[in-house]
Amino acid sequence: MQWLYLYFPSLQLDSLLHQQAYNHACVLVDKNQVVQANPQARQLGIKNGTGLAQAALLCAQIKVITYNAKQEQRLLSQLAQCLYQTSATLYLDPPQGLLLQTSDMLRLYEGLAAYWQQLQHPLKERSLNYHYASAHSPLAAKVLAQAGNDRLLTHQSDATRLLSQLPIQHAGLGHKLALQLERLGLNTLGQAQALPRCALGQRLGKTLVTYLQQLEDCSAPSRPAYQPPERFRQRLELLYEIEHSTALKFPLKRMLTDLEAFLAPRQLRAAGLSLGIEYREHESQRMHVGCSDGEYKAEPWLALFALKLEQLKLPAPIIAISLNTKGQMPWAPLSQQLFEPTGGKLTSGQLISRLQSKLGDHAVQQVYLHDDHRPERSFYQGMPQSHNQTQQATTSLRPSLLLTLPKALHHKPDHHWCILSGPERIQSGWWDNVNICRDYFIARNSCGQVCWLFRTPAEDWFLHGYFS
Amino acid sequence: MALLQLEKDRLVWRARQVTGPDQRRQSSSYPTLDAHLQGGWPQTGLVELACGSTGIGELRLLFPLLAKAQARLQVWINPPAQLNGQALAQYGISLSQTLLIRCQNPQHALWSAEQSLNSGCCSHLILWAKSLTAPQAKRLQVSAKDNQSLMFWLHPQAEPSTSALPVSARFSLAPLATGLHLKIHKYQGQWPQHPCQVDMHELWPSLAMPAYVAAPKPTNAPKNNIKAFPLNTLKLQ
């Protein structure tokens, strides 16, 4: 079996810098020590392991970000998700490594070179720094990659030769063990491999023996291989604090492009997206945008978010955003008709979601019928959804415009009113305590309005609607 | 050349062209109105209806048209009261193609009207708005024409707005016992017309009187032909 190991020495920093163009010295710091530094910082002499105070002395304007192991883990699985398009079997090796099994993929790509070219593409796109090596065993590949070997070795003998020449300090053995070996006069890994295992085990402990054994062990790691997630979820920590909601569009666009890359190969559409906004010293907020037809492309989603964002008032600067899908559904052809009379630019679902994002969900409604004799309950206005009209409309004439609350008439209808039809008695609702007993008349008043009036048993008159 | 092209696109109207019903009109289902408008409503564009007061029959004028065309959405923006689903269904309007938009801000109402028209999936749009400026009317008119939609703008003034608004047609409505009195202030592509009386008795027998009853009689009969309201005869039991 053939293995390829990809090592990303500055994964978190690289992705941060890629998402937001920043061309000044910038370092990641963990426990007051620099763990990742960009080229600008390296030029100033800042190395991994430099103390924070020293780094600040070297460059006063240096941008310092806290190293976040969880975030890096998340980035690693995002990367795995991306490489999964190229390579079928891969293993996460946190915090900064990915192990890929190449032997199965070589037949598909017809050779290691073509496969490697395909694999490099997403890494270059994200402008990541990486080291790589291929070898016969997972551990050998890892050790060679972390030593910065950057070579694709097809023969086991090449890998063994390189391993045996490797200085013991770079063999990934841990500082203490490497020092012990050096003191014994073993400067390269090959010298340690040449010694009898049982003697080494007795003197230096089990760790070294296991390590040496694993170097030659070609079998797959015992942990399960990477499985891509079912749902899209991404979080982005911003290098700048954002104080205007319109500026949020740029990082959001990148996330939506990732969303598109996630949904398109799965033939899925997202029914809705939820954007989490985290503020500095303020409670975080979630923003929902829906699209009833479902959508996977970044462009329409960005347009929907833009409508929402322009109404957003920021209570504090934004420090991070996160995006996840709300409901995913499989692809379906948007239009069943080939010869539609007019080529619509949007579907009705897209129009509805656009209107809803600007005006609010409750401003856009559809009318549904309800089986009830009481006029105000015989229909209702609800959210637009796939309409399934089963109810039959009543046969007696109803006004097209109905007042929400009947308006009391101050005077009884007199000779200025002309009765057109009536009375129609509606007595209903004894079962749910909204009992009505009304006699309805259709009458035209002196202004020519055709009104729907009713009279209660107490001889009060009300106007309830217009036959507009 | 330019004039020829304009004529080909039927953008230049010559008075001698007044012939039979225009192919690009759609029937309103009211024979008198169709005769006056030479075929009926325009296919596309913005139509202004000055209604005076709500409930005189302004929607009844449109319902036959709306009931016929249901391939695309029909959008209602800011109706003055609740849109009664029972009535719409009775008149043959598909509720699944009816979209209702309510917004307080008049700017938002215009924005949603333009979006609906530009989406291409809306065939008719009925907007209630107090007033439109000339640029707003022009934008809506262009959107409606480009997307094969017909938009009605209803407002509560008795007289139409200034004649400078770029609309396809401008009418003012007044109530009649038999239906509606329709004044045609502007109708693109034809000579000014006399006012028209729309007889609604045929389609709405219980809401409008037949013309022969409502016609003024030479006798001393009461002018308005209104019956006294039967207050005393209709007592609740």
pLDDT tens across A179-208, in order? Answer: 888 898 888 888 888 888 888 888 888 888
Q: Is the pTM of this model over 0.95?
A: no
Helix, strand, coil percent values for chain A (each to nearest 5): 35, 30, 35
Mean pLDDT (whole number) for A418-442:
89
CA distance A144 to A171: 8
Nearest chain B residue to A467 by CA: give it. Answer: B55
Q: Which of A304, A351, A409 to mutate to test the interface with B (most CBs of B within 10 A)?
A: A351
Find the domain containing B104 and state its range.
Answer: 36-46+74-208
Residue A461 pLDDT greater than 60, yes or no: yes
**Which residue is it, tokens 């209709």?**
B234
Residue range A433-444: average pLDDT?
Answer: 90
pLDDT at B204: 87
Cα A104 from Cα A101, distance rounded (Å): 7
Cα A326 to Cα A212, A417, B23, B183: the distances in Å are 48, 56, 49, 53
Average model confidence (pLDDT) across chain A: 87
Least confidently predicted of A454-463, B6-15, B22-31: B6-15
What was the pLDDT predicted at B18? 55
B223 shares contact with chain A (CB less than 8 Å): no
Confidence of residue B237 (pLDDT cuts 50, 70, 90): very low
Tell me, what CATH number does B122's domain have?
3.40.50.300
Alpha-carbon gap, residue B139 to B151, rounded angstroms: 12
**B193 or A267: which carries more pLDDT confidence?**
A267
Comparing CA positions, the residue from A452, A426, A431, A423 lying closest to residue A374 is A426
- More confident site: B22 or A378: A378
Which helix (H) or strand (E) segment is A200 a member of? Answer: helix A197-204
Residue A278: helix, strand or coil by DSSP? strand
DSSP reduced 3-state for A348: helix
| Residue B119 is assigned to a structural domain of this protein | yes
What is the β-pairing status of strands A436-444 and A418-428? Answer: antiparallel
Rounded distance between C-alpha atoms, residue A144 and residue A159, angstroms = 8
Q: Using the predicted structure, report yes or no on whether residue B6 has a pLDDT greater than 90.
A: no
Work out whether strand A282-295 and strand B122-128 pair parallel, antiparallel, or are unpaired: unpaired
Contact flag B227-A419 (C-beta cutoff 8 Å): yes
Tell me how far apart the alpha carbons of residues A301 and A270 are, in angstroms, rounded to a whole number. Answer: 10
Q: Is there a contact between A303 and A364 (Cβ–Cβ < 8 Å)?
A: no
Residues of chain B with C-beta less than 8 angstroms from the C-beta of A393: 85-87, 89-90
Alpha helices in B120-188 (DSSP H): 134-146
In the stretch 175-204 of chain B, residues with CB closer than 8 A to chain A read: 175-177, 204
Tallying the residues shown for chain B, one arrives at 237
Asked whether the beta carbons of residue B86 and residue A439 sit closer than 8 angstroms, the reply is no
Between strands B169-175 and B45-50, the pairing is parallel
How high is the pLDDT of residue B60? 92
pLDDT for B86 equals 92
Mean pLDDT for the stretch of residues A235-243 = 84
Task: Tell me which chain B residue has its CA closest to the CA of residue A344.
Answer: B120
How distant is the Cα of B58 from the closest Cα of chain A, in angstroms? 6
A380 contact residues in B (CB cutoff 8 A): 85
Chain B CA closest to residue A371: B86
For residue B204, tell me if it sits in a domain: yes
Name B32's Cβ contacts closer than 8 Å, sequence gap at least 6: B196, B197, B198, B199
- A465, B80: Cβ pair inside 8 Å? no
Q: Are B147 and B98 a contacting pair, CB within 8 Å?
A: no
Is there a contact between B230 and A419 (Cβ–Cβ < 8 Å)? yes
Over the stretch B110-129, which tens digit does the pLDDT of each residue have?
999 999 999 888 999 999 99
Task: Tell me what percent of the residues of chain A surpass a pLDDT of 90.
Answer: 19
Q: Do residue B54 and residue A347 have CB atoms under 8 angstroms apart? A: no
Contact A105, A12 (CB under 8 A): no
Q: Domains of chain A by range and CATH?
A: 3-24+62-216 (no CATH), 233-330 (3.30.1490.100), 398-466 (no CATH)
Range A333-339 average pLDDT: 55
Distance, CA of B17 to CA of B40 (rounded, Å): 17
Q: How far apart are CA B56 and CA A100, in angstroms?
A: 76
Contacts of B87 in chain A (CB under 8 A): 393, 397-400
Angle between helices B134-146 and B106-119 in degrees, nearest 10? 20
Lowest mean pLDDT among A64-73, A323-332, A430-439, B167-176: A323-332
Q: State how many domains chain B has.
A: 1
pLDDT of residue A220: 86
Strand partners, A367: A381
Confidence at A327, pLDDT banded by 50, 70, 90: confident
> Residue A68: how many CA atoms within 13 Å on its side-chain side?
14
Q: Tell me if A402 and B82 make a contact (CB, 8 A cut-off).
A: yes
Q: Is B235 on the interface with A (CB under 8 A)?
A: no
Q: Evaluate whether residue B146 is within a structural domain.
A: yes
| Assigned domain for B180 exists | yes
Rg (CA), chain A: 35
Nearest to A404 among B63, B82, B90 (CB): B82
Identify the pLDDT of residue B21: 47
- Asked whether B39 and B30 are in contact (CB, 8 A), the reply is no
Residue A464 predicted with pLDDT over 90: yes
Q: What is the pLDDT of residue A132?
A: 92
> Helix crossing, A69-83 with A11-19: angle to 10°?
80
More confident residue, A334 or A315: A315
In which order are the strands placed within the sheet that holds B179-187?
A: A379-382, A364-369, B98-101, B73-77, B122-128, B150-155, B45-50, B169-175, B179-187, B196-199
Of A359, A401, A415, the CB nearest to B84: A401
Specify the long-range contacts of residues A286-290, CB closer than 8 Å, at least 24 apart.
A287/A312, A288/A326, A289/A353, A289/A357, A290/A326, A290/A353, A290/A356, A290/A361
The number of residues in chain A equals 468
Please report, as a single letter, which amino acid is at residue B233.
T
- DSSP at A94: T
